[in-house]
A and B are shown apart, each in its own frame.
Chain A
Amino acid sequence: MTDVLVCIKRVPEATGEVTLTPDGLGIDGSHAGYTVSPNEECAVELAVQVADGGRCTVLTLGPAGAVDQLRAALAVGMTDGIHIEGDSDAFSPADVAREVAAAVRARGEAGSAYDLVLLGNDAADTGDFQVGVRLAYALGYPVVTGIQTVSVEGSTAILTGEGPDGSETYRVALPAVVTVLEGGVEPRYPSVMGRMKAKKAPIETLAPTTVPVGSGRLALEVPPPPPNQVRILGEGAAAAPAFVATLAELGVLR
């Protein structure tokens, strides 16, 4: 059985208007609500599959409310939770990697090291593309990014992802770090049983091991939406000739 750790991040679920926090340094998710990246939902699904009924742990570094995202992962089959409490905006990708590495090492020192650590390829908010890679270097593990399917044979992980020339397969000795992209698996929906279990599942709360260096963020800004200059070509089927005329104007039709 493969002992898997998955790292997820609570992010604002804004799909339309985005508002910033009063200090202008954060994205206000209090109206839109919070979620995790689809990439991380797929990482959770892969972890549950690979763990095959065994222990699989979900970890997040985030504020108190991030427990919601841990519970959501516990509801679809993760068995244990770790919550490193902190304001994720105050942590650089290197800071996060250091904290996750400390949690991974602690588990190793306790005599039951994780075989595989999964993360999303890039967080939905900061899109830094690097926590997984930095974590691998901190731990001395091999790392592959942008993976869509994961299986384990003995002590080897078989990983596939999309490369420039087709689907690529990696065979990597465990322990390893893998970052996941959406598209290889369908995340399952939580069952009623799963939700009940998640309420009672153990979540270990940890404090960060060191003071974060910080991300270097100076300011955030919401670019003004482009002015509404849409030309309505018409309504319903009657607009078809105007559509074709516009295509001709644009030079799309030969």
Chain B
Amino acid sequence: MILVLVEIDDGALALVSQEALTFARGLGEPVEAVVLAAPGTDTSAAVADCAVQGVARVHLVDGPDLISYAAAAWASVVAGVLAETGASTLVASGSGRASEILAHVAARLDVPMAANALEASPVGESTEAVGGQARMPDQGSDTGTGLLVRRQVLGGAVVESTLLAAVPAILTVAGHAVEPVAAPVAGAASVVTVTPRIEPDDLRAQVASVTPRSGGDGASLTKAKVVVGAGRGAGGPDGFGGVDALAAKLGGVVGVSRVVTSLGWRPHHEQVGQTGSRINPDLYVPCGISGAIQHWAGCSSSKTIIAINTDAEAPMVTKAAYAIVGDMHEVIPAILAALDKRG
């Protein structure tokens, strides 16, 4: 059995959790889920989403100690479900929360964890079942037994093959590397409620307070359908009028490169990339962004990219579907005027 830690976003199952469930199904074993949600959260939509993903059983968690988030407490819950069910593998998305909890579980059980997996397949004896999208390098017979994982390193510029030989195998799935698809047959998603006993030590680091965001946040960037990007080519803190207007016009948000945030031109929560947000829009319009691998790490899942850049050889241009070669400060006003004319 594969156990998947899933999260809720806007009342439903988070997109990255759906991706993790699709990934887990590819491993060829039944899938169960633990829902990471404070007791009292409405989980009905998420449970229904789990059924769509073919999940056989959903573990919901109750108890006063989990009302405020504490990673170690959640790790003890997940470790408990692992022990009770004898799951072979623990999977989650690569979100901050999920990565943190899985790292705790791996540390507690003293087993390895592979972050940012793209594909996985069992190797060694009795390896009929092979992961859905698996395309493994030929490793010969001396690899051993376990779960062969291909995962992103260096922000996705390099792929590492690694063997998780211990049980349970623990891995997080790279964001947007897998397209979530409904299971051919819906799962029963029968609900069991766990009321765990939490050790005081596991509550030493617990969220004390949450301040709702006042300004923007990375979350609106990761969910946006249209992102207009700006990099060094913006030229300075006053160079964003055009991208702001274009984003507003297209019902999108602005995302920026690290040069822009480290020069203090725009806040860090707008940064796209390895140390910023991973975006997943239908349309990304990077303006004056060269497309370094660390930036590409955050935008490569965009469905369509239209780059605007003075340099026709910039990696962002050669990797894009469409490009305009030119100065963003001339091109964007012309686009805004053309959009206005269209009405």
Contacts and interface: CB of A to CB of B under 8 A. Distances in A.
Interface of A: 12, 14-16, 18, 20, 27, 37-39, 92-94, 97, 122, 124-130, 133-134, 136-137, 142-146, 162-173, 176, 181-184, 186, 215-223, 225-226, 228-244, 246-247, 250, 252-253
B264 A186 contact: yes
A27 B163 CA distance: 19
A235 B269 contact: no
B274 interface: yes
Given A164-B97, A183-B268, A236 B158 contact: no
B330 A237 contact: yes
Contacts of B271: 182-183
B162 interface: yes
Contacts of B334: 236-240
Given A167-B211, A237-B331, A220 B158 contact: yes
B155 A124 contact: yes
A134 B304 CA distance: 40
Contact of B318 (A133, A173, A222, A228): A228
B129 interface: no
A243 B324 contact: yes
B71 A232 contact: no
B205 A142 contact: yes
A230 B107 CA distance: 46
A119 to B, nearest CB: 12
28 contacts: A124-B274, A129-B113, A130-B106, A133-B100, A134-B107, A143-B71, A144-B205, A145-B103, A163-B96, A164-B7, A165-B212, A166-B217, A169-B211, A172-B204, A182-B271, A186-B262, A216-B162, A217-B161, A222-B159, A234-B325, A235-B326, A236-B331, A237-B330, A239-B324, A246-B306, A252-B250, A252-B282, A253-B342
Nearest to A179: B100
Given A230-B317, A230-B321, 20 more contacts: A12-B154, A15-B292, A27-B153, A94-B110, A127-B153, A129-B94, A129-B100, A145-B100, A163-B207, A168-B207, A168-B209, A172-B205, A182-B271, A183-B261, A184-B268, A230-B323, A236-B326, A236-B330, A237-B330, A239-B325
Contacts of B247: none
Nearest to B162: A216
A231 B322 contact: yes
Contacts of B218: 162
Interface in B158-215: 158-165, 172, 204-213
Nearest to B116: A127
A184 B139 CA distance: 43
B283 interface: yes
- Indicate the member of B153, B160, B210, B276 with the most A CB atoms within 10 Å: B160
Given A16-B292, A37-B275, A230-B322, A145 B209 contact: no
A186 to B, nearest CB: 7
Nearest to B150: A221
Contacts of B2: none
Interface residues of B, number: 93
Nearest to B152: A127
Given A128-B113, A145-B71, A221-B159, A239 B326 contact: yes
Contact of B99 (A93, A129, A164): A129
Contacts of A241: 338
Given A127-B116, A129-B103, A230 B157 contact: no
Interface of B: 7, 9, 69, 71-72, 94, 96-97, 99-100, 103-104, 106-108, 110, 112-113, 115-116, 137, 139, 143, 148, 152-155, 157-165, 172, 204-213, 217-219, 226, 250, 258, 261-262, 264, 268-269, 271, 274-276, 282-283, 292-294, 304, 306-307, 312, 315, 317-327, 330-331, 333-335, 337-339, 342
8 interchain residue pairs of minimum CB distance: A183-B268, A237-B334, A142-B204, A240-B334, A236-B326, A130-B103, A133-B103, A15-B292
Contacts of B9: 164
A94 B294 CA distance: 26
Given A38-B258, A220-B153, A240 B337 contact: yes
Nearest to A222: B158
Contact of A237 (B103, B306, B321, B326): B326
Interface centre among B72, B218, B322 (most CB of A within 10 A): B322
Contact of A231 (B148, B276, B283, B321): B321
Given A124-B274, A130-B113, A252-B283, A221 B306 contact: no
A248 B333 CA distance: 18
A78 B69 CA distance: 33
Nearest to B151: A127
Contact of B320 (A38, A216, A230): A230
Contacts of A144: 71, 205
Contacts of B172: 129
Given A233-B323, A237-B326, A216 B163 contact: yes
B258 to A, nearest CB: 7
Contacts of A165: 210, 212
B110 A166 contact: no
Contacts of A218: 137, 139, 143, 148, 161-163
A176 B205 contact: yes
Nearest to B330: A237
A15 B312 CA distance: 18
B104 A221 contact: no
